[in-house]
Amino acid sequence: NLYNMLQELRGNIRVFCRIRPLFDSTSRSTIDCIGEDGSVMVFDPLKPQSTRKVFQFNKVFGPKATQGDVYKETQSLIRSVVDGYNVCIFAYGQTGSGKTHTMYGPSGGSGQDNGINYMALNDLFHISGARENVKYQINVQMVEIYNEQVRDLLAEDSSATRLEIRTCTSNGQMTLPDAKMLLVGSTEDVINAMKLGETNRASSFTAMNDRSSRSHSILIVHVHGEEDSGEVTNSCLYLVDLAGSERVDRSEATGDRLKEAQHINKSLSCLGDVITALAQKNSHIPYRNSKLTQLLQKSLGGNAKMLMFAHISPEVESFTETISTLKFAQRAS
Ligand code: ADP
Ligand code: MG
């Protein structure tokens, strides 16, 4: 349809900005205004004289936007997966800016207000189920990347499994052959898989509080289609809740915390480099510089479609991080 055609013309990289509501609705916001055209203007209320800065995106979701509003703009990508495209959707932003809310939902995703992961899978079942001449099989893997190590979140003993990213000999693409693959047939299966993943993620790190903000969690959805004629399609959807992008004060962080921060900085800056190279249509794309970009390789570049959510916390204290998130996201356009 026309909408899809317009999406095609816009290219394969799209960037949306999402601003969460103020935690304290009586405090001041750094968001000056949001344009229908995808622009957002920010300023520092503590420095009224400083100039307002404008950033341009494909779309901006303000604090009142619902999960449904956000998903409506994402849905065409999910359709693309069934059509055989590889797709990557990821949430970027500082800790507390709403990444997990967008991808999973407020209660970790099992209750009301489910996020993109659930709605996407739900849609995949509907769209694939409605295609008459093709039989689809949907499998999921769930992993996290922490300190440049990939860990299987669906394995029985998830702490024991450190996964290698391997090159598939038949098509040269990067895969995780040793990560547990779960066949899913309904949204309930998906919810159970994600619950298991979340439990595994939390359990081995009780000592470190909120470790989830310092690792990337990735839900990998494999869609395998077989037409009556025997033709086969394989595509992948990567749903990524990135580690918090905030800068850690080097003078304060030491030991494990410093190591974590360095790994996060490295992988997010590698991701930024890959996106910039893609946006500039460079011939060399530096995928190999981090585990994250290696793993996402087939869903970034080529025919693949990518969507980044840049998440913003509107509080005054977050202004510096807000500017840095907006600048990062701007690199893609
Ligand atoms: P992050 O994953 O980036 O650290 P969270 O998704 O955990 O951030 O969000 C931080 C808090 O703000 C959570 O309590 C979450 O429920 C709430 N929140 C985030 N985005 C929204 C939103 N758009 N509407 C309402 N509450 C939100
Ligand atoms: Mg989170």
Domain spans, the chain: 2-330
Q: What is the pLDDT of residue 302?
A: 84
Distance between Cα 97 and ligand 1 center (Å): 6
Q: Look at 151 and 157; give whichever has higher pLDDT.
A: 151
Per the CB < 8 A criterion, the answer to whether 278 and 285 are in contact is yes
Using a 6 Å cutoff on CB, does residue 215 contact ligand 1?
Answer: no
> Which residue among 17, 25, 101, 214 is best mutated to probe the pocket of ligand 1, counting the most ligand atoms within 8 A of its Cβ?
101
Ligand nearest, relative to CA of residue 101: 1
Q: What is the pLDDT of residues 8-65, one digit of tens each?
A: 545 689 999 999 999 998 999 999 999 989 999 999 988 878 889 999 999 999 999 9
Report the pLDDT averaged over residues 106-134: 85
pLDDT confidence tier of residue 249, bands split at 50, 70 and 90 = confident
Asked whether residue 321 carries a pLDDT value surpassing 70, the answer given is yes
* Residues near ion ligand 2 (Cβ under 5 Å): 99-100
Q: Is 314's C-beta closer than 6 angstroms to any atom of ligand 1? A: no
User: Nearest bound ligand to CA 93?
Assistant: 1
From atom 18 of ligand 1, which residue's Cα is the shortest distance away?
98
State pLDDT tens for residues 65-90: 999 999 999 999 999 999 999 999 99
97 lines ligand 1 (CB under 6 A): yes
Q: How far apart, in whole angstroms, are the C-alpha atoms of residue 177 and residue 65? A: 38
* pLDDT value of residue 107: 63
Å from CA of 21 to ligand 2 middle: 16
Higher pLDDT, 302 or 159: 302
pLDDT computed for residue 211 by the predictor:
67
Range with lowest mean pLDDT among 121-135, 156-170, 172-186: 156-170
216 C-beta closer than 6 A to ligand 1: no
Q: Look at residue 133 and tell me whether its pLDDT is greater than 60.
A: yes
Q: Is 101 in the pocket of ligand 1 (CB under 6 A)?
A: yes
Q: Whose CA is nearest to atom 19 of ligand 1?
A: 98
Instruction: Give, to the nearest 10 degrees, the angle between helix 2-9 and helix 75-82.
Output: 90
222 Cβ closer than 6 Å to some ligand 1 atom:
no
In this prediction, residue 303 carries a pLDDT of 86
- Closest ligand 1 atom to Cα of 18: 23
Query: Cβ(98) to ligand 1 under 6 A?
Result: yes
Over residues 266-275, the mean pLDDT reads 94
Q: Is 318 in the pocket of ligand 1 (CB under 6 A)?
A: no
pLDDT computed for residue 206 by the predictor: 45
**Would you say domain 2-330 falls under CATH 3.30.499.10?**
no
* Number of the ligand 1 atom closest to the C-alpha atom of 91: 3
Bigger pLDDT: 248 vs 299 = 299
Establish whether residue 95 lines the binding site of ligand 1, counting it when its CB lies within 6 angstroms of any ligand atom: yes
Rounded distance, CA 269 to CA 275, Å?
Answer: 10
Instruction: Compute the mean pLDDT over every residue in the chain, rounded to the nearest whole number.
Output: 88
User: Region 231-235: what's the mean pLDDT?
Assistant: 93
For residue 169, pLDDT over 80 is answered with no
Q: Is the CB of 139 under 6 A from ligand 1?
A: no
Position 204 pLDDT exceeds 70: no
Q: Does 180 contact ligand 1 (Cβ within 6 A)?
A: no
pLDDT at 111 over 90: no
Cα 119 to middle of ligand 1, angstroms: 18
